[in-house]
Structure 1
Amino acid sequence: MQNFTDENNKIENNLVLPVLAVRGLVFFPGMMLQFDISRKKSVLAASESIVNDRLIFLVSQVHMEDGEPVGDDLYRVGVIARIKQVVHHSEEGAKLHVEGLCRGEITSFVQEEPYLLGNIVKCPMLTYKKSYKSEALIRIVHERFDEYLRLFKHVPPDVLLGVLQEKDCGRLADYIASNISIDFERKQYILDELRPLKRMQKLIDVLTEEIQILAVENEINQKAQAQMDENQREYFLKEQMRAIANELGEEDDPQQESDELRKKVRALQLSKVCEEKLLKECNKLYHMPSGSHEASVIRLYLDTCLELPWRKSSKEKLDLTRAQRILDQDHYGLVKVKERFIEILAVKSLAPLQNGQIICLVGPPGVGKTSIARSIARATGRKYVRVSLGGVSDEAEIMGHRKTYVGSMPGRIINAVKQAGVNNPLILLDEIDKLGTNFKGDPASALLEVLDPEQNGEFTDHYIDMPFDLSHVLFITTANDASRIPGPLYDRMDIIELGSYTLEEKLNIATKHLVKKQLTKHGIKARQLKFSKAALRQIIEGYTREAGVRTLERTIASVCRKTAKKIVLDPEFSSVSVKPEDLEELLGPRKYTQDRLPSENMVGLVNGLAWTSVGGELLPLEVAVMEGTGKIQLTGSLGDVMKESANAAITCIRTRAGALGISPKFYEKCDIHIHAPEGAVPKDGPSAGIAMATAITSALTAIPVRRDIAMTGEITLQGRVLPIGGLKEKAMAAYKNGIKTVLIPIDNVPDLAEIDEVVKKNVCFIPVKRVDTVLENALQCMPRPIQPEGQAISEEIPLHPAPADHYVEPARV
């Protein structure tokens, strides 16, 4: 003991040592132990210690299941130890013989890769004054330890001798704690205490609790032994039956198998009702002859039930910073989705028992709905399972078949949980809007119980025929069209809209993700093939027209394939940089051309804005006025809503014809033709109302419309401008086509928060409340109103501010 104390005193108070995280073990000063290490960090830390002074810091990790613990996963107090001997050492692992010297505490970490290296402070060895209290504590510890030995027979005799010889309170507490069979958390509880007398008191508490547990355990063992004696006769009889069955050639009879199944059923620790049901099936199997069809049905049913993770869960990771980092690494944009799931993690950390809401991601194909779900599973530490619902029209696909039917099996939900192996996976229900319905039932109705947090805690599959708890499962659904989701199912889900990607978002996704992915997929090194940003922008604008990035990825893959061919055929190939002028040779002629603005202000031509599934587009509207009898002609594949909007715009202009210098009888003497170019493309919706009103006014007054202005908004008969949807995509379309000013409904001002910053910097958004403000900003100049005597003044006057009751000051938002 004197040598140990002298060596302890030689250790400096502040050290920088390799840190070895041990799993399920707690070392104490003076303790000598051999143990194996296999983790790469542990082997490197031990190697570093052996090269230097053989000192190493041993500390327990908080959670045994952590495969690669970092600083926050370790306890603070551990033991400064010396490696006495390395029994075996290789890259795969080593066996160390170490001796604990003194307590130490981690103050900070110098590094975490390739191995843990920390700043260690030597804990002081506190002394105490011997008194009646210290003597009493020693005696109480001896008494408790004797009781422990009577109940636990596996303590070596030399440990008892060591306890009797030790007289120091601190060392006695460490010695006993290191040699009794208790879990590592309670050993760490004693190691953390530096005061000897307080450490003895904690040891007494631990021993008292352990003695009570051992007493109950012995009582249970005695009862179990008595029960075993009662079952011994039945056991011998069954063995005789098995021997007779073997003589008759029935070695694989179901009776032998049913006993093993009973053990597995009891080991699941299910509710009383579920356990009795499964044991009843085991009894049926026991009395059935080998090889019968019904026996194989019951055997398959029991195997399926036993494979379900009734009580097995994976540890959920609730680190918000880590989750945000993973989501940002895997996906660019998708801010709403990421924020929603970070909020779910925050709520889960504050209220672990709270069941989360079902999330439905709605958006066009290719925007990342399925892949973001996989990233969320990785960020939260959940198992990921995808269930495709596209084309499912049978209710039994969801709820399972009754086990009495031939070929019956569980439904897709239970199969997904079984595949995950835990009861808290992330299950992605893909394409929920494409469920079908036929005479076999309605699968959407079957999903009502699955996707209701208030009901899915007792989900009953027809095949299992027992309630299974789905409340711990995180369900995410995806859909392309929310209108095709049945109302009751839609009401149970929290809908998150994923719009189509803008040009800037596609460019960032291609730069940060798609190019790297395709280079790796085609075996091309980053230095061999490079894409300039201008080339990627040209590919997006000229060779793809989609909401997502699937076609963009396929186009990049096409360039990679051509480059791979060059690498293989040309031995002297070094590298290639793809530029805009190279695209026609690689991909052929440009497929899509950018809309062009008129070269000058024109009469009756207005730039409208439209939303499509592949993003926003410029929608020119033309109006021609001719002498006639008041006919109105609409062309350009306009839908019913858009035709009604055109009629509303004409009526609105008629109500204020005098104020606009238009003859009140124009509808009797003029024919009006409204046309939307690209006539083969169907167009519908009310958002072109103010654009048509402006074009009609321009055509009737012969005043040109500004070429650099675009507009969107629904119009009413009284000239009010109502809000529209898809403002983000429409604003991006205006920016791409060089529009400098966009007129939007005043009620859409809150939507400007979602518009990209680059668009806000280059486009001026003017909120409008009435059509009068639209005309004042869009027309090159305003006409004079008709005089009271009914004669109009033909000369035009410059643009002037609108009356204060409906004018909104133009502002760059």
Structure 2
Amino acid sequence: MSKFETFDFSQAIPIVAEDTEFFPLLTQEDEDNMANAEIPEALSILPLRNTVLFPGVVIPITVGRDKSIKLVKEAYKGSKTIGVVSQKDMTVEDPGFEELNKVGTVAHIIKVLQMPDGNTTVIIQGKQRFNLLEIVGTEPYLKARVEKFNEAKPKMTKHFKATISTLKEMALQIIQLSPNLPSEAGIAIKNIESPSFLINFISSNINVEMTKKQELLQIPKVENRAKLLLELLTTEIQMLELKHQIQNKVRVDLDKQQRDYFLNQQLKTIQEELGGNTPDLELEELKKRGKSKKWSLEVEKHFTKELEKLSRINPAAADYSVQLNYLELLLDLPWNDNNKR
């Protein structure tokens, strides 16, 4: 069972295994060699619940299903080659052909690690896409007949080059807007030479639904993949910018409230030391004087409303003294004492 949660740029950093250093950056030559390599007619299939593996990308996967653990351990002792396919529904415990997406990725097992908590984690690197044709075995784990995915090499037109450059800039912008992402992610993005791998790398790390990642995986034409990825990155940037705007507004409002509160407290202290009335005492005095007045119900309601208004005004503001003078005027007017409620 893949318990791997949201995979982000923080996972795509150098991974060191025994005697070999893996940095998830591919040259165009590396990618061509992977794409041209032959794949077996049948592969052992590792279903993934909540992630999609892209060619060239290195990710850790935690496996928990007995079938998956057995598959990983046996493959690691042998060819180290497996097929990785994401599930359509992550809640299905034992997926069959219908529950699996029909485009997956040939994966090379780099390392199998037994974690202190008892879980098994496997570090894998995607190699190339394949089409899932049919299941040919279910025990002790899934085995399927597969065929090579028909993928056309992109034409390096001016438009495509501009698209790739824009993708790189937008990915770097997302890293800047996301404080939790490490600087290594930006270094990796800047140093990717292969356009196809850049698309795969960003597709693996972008914060979108699984269905969108699967869609990116199975689009045959690289140019169309780049177009969809551009749309997804644009949406992600808009969301991040909106989030920052909201956070900044809340922070500014909060800072203003804290500043006003601090000034009010200082003002109260100064007034108390000088023997003057604090705003709270002034309000209480006005309220007390109002209760002693024998005025109509209508006037009383108006006075109460204006008193509440005064309580909401910053004592340091000019409006405060204006409102205070108005209330004192109301209290000082010669109301008809015989006009009782």
**TM exceeds 0.5?**
yes
Contact 1:58–1:81, Cα closer than 8 Å, also in 2: yes
SS in 2 for 1:155: coil
Equivalent in the alignment of 1:147: 173
RMSD: 2.9
Equivalent in the alignment of 2:223: 197
Equivalent in the alignment of 1:86: 112
Q: Residue deviations 1:59-89, cap 9 Å, x none?
A: 2112233333332222111210011211228
SS in 2 for 1:41: helix
- 2:237 paired with 1:211: yes
Of 88, 92, 99, the match for 2:125: 99
The 1:216/1:109 distance shift into structure 2, 3 A limit, reads same
Inter-partner Cα distance in structure 2 for 1:220 and 1:21: 39
Name which structure has the greater RCO, CA cutoff 8 Å, separation 6+.
Answer: 2
Structure 2: stretches of 5+ with no match in the other structure: 1-26, 263-341
Structure 1: stretches of 5+ with no match in the other structure: 237-813
Q: How does 1:295-694 map to 2 (within 5 A)?
A: none
Inter-partner Cα distance in structure 2 for 1:158 and 1:150: 12
Inter-partner Cα distance in structure 1 for 2:258 and 2:44: 57
Equivalent in the alignment of 1:134: 160
The amino acid across from 1:10 in the alignment is A
SS in 1 for 2:176: helix
1:227, distance to aligned residue in structure 2 (A): 5.9
Equivalent in the alignment of 1:263: none
The amino acid across from 2:58 in the alignment is M
Inter-partner Cα distance in structure 2 for 1:149 and 1:97: 24
The 1:65/1:232 distance shift into structure 2, 3 A limit, reads farther
Inter-partner Cα distance in structure 2 for 1:162 and 1:100: 17
The 1:216/1:111 distance shift into structure 2, 3 A limit, reads same
The amino acid across from 2:36 in the alignment is N
% identical equivalent positions: 26
Inter-partner Cα distance in structure 1 for 2:109 and 2:218: 22
Q: Residue deviations 1:192-227, cap 9 Å, x none?
A: 112111111111011011111212222333344456
The amino acid across from 2:208 in the alignment is I
Deviates more, 1:154-163 or 1:24-33: 154-163
Inter-partner Cα distance in structure 2 for 1:86 and 1:162: 24
Inter-partner Cα distance in structure 2 for 1:139 and 1:84: 31
Equivalent in the alignment of 1:159: 185
1:25, distance to aligned residue in structure 2 (A): 1.2
Q: Residue deviations 1:154-211, cap 9 Å, x none?
A: 3333332333333433222112222333333222221111211111111101101111
Of 239, 247, 266, the match for 1:221: 247
1:9, distance to aligned residue in structure 2 (A): 2.8
Contact 2:73–2:112, Cα closer than 8 Å, also in 1: no
The 1:151/1:104 distance shift into structure 2, 3 A limit, reads same
Q: Residue deviations 1:267-323, cap 9 Å, x none?
A: xxxxxxxxxxxxxxxxxxxxxxxxxxxxxxxxxxxxxxxxxxxxxxxxxxxxxxxxx
Equivalent in the alignment of 1:9: 36
1:232, distance to aligned residue in structure 2 (A): 6.7
Q: Residue deviations 1:399-443, cap 9 Å, x none?
A: xxxxxxxxxxxxxxxxxxxxxxxxxxxxxxxxxxxxxxxxxxxxx
Contact 1:170–1:197, Cα closer than 8 Å, also in 2: no
The amino acid across from 1:202 in the alignment is L
The 1:227/1:15 distance shift into structure 2, 3 A limit, reads farther
SS in 1 for 2:175: helix
Aligned length: 233
1:20, distance to aligned residue in structure 2 (A): 0.8
1:108, distance to aligned residue in structure 2 (A): 1.0
Contact 1:37–1:94, Cα closer than 8 Å, also in 2: yes
Contact 2:31–2:197, Cα closer than 8 Å, also in 1: no
Q: Residue deviations 1:705-732, cap 9 Å, x none?
A: xxxxxxxxxxxxxxxxxxxxxxxxxxxx
Equivalent in the alignment of 2:135: 109
Q: Residue deviations 1:485-535, cap 9 Å, x none?
A: xxxxxxxxxxxxxxxxxxxxxxxxxxxxxxxxxxxxxxxxxxxxxxxxxxx
- 2:72 paired with 1:53: no
Inter-partner Cα distance in structure 1 for 2:185 and 2:208: 16
Inter-partner Cα distance in structure 2 for 1:210 and 1:196: 21
The 1:230/1:134 distance shift into structure 2, 3 A limit, reads same
SS in 1 for 2:41: strand
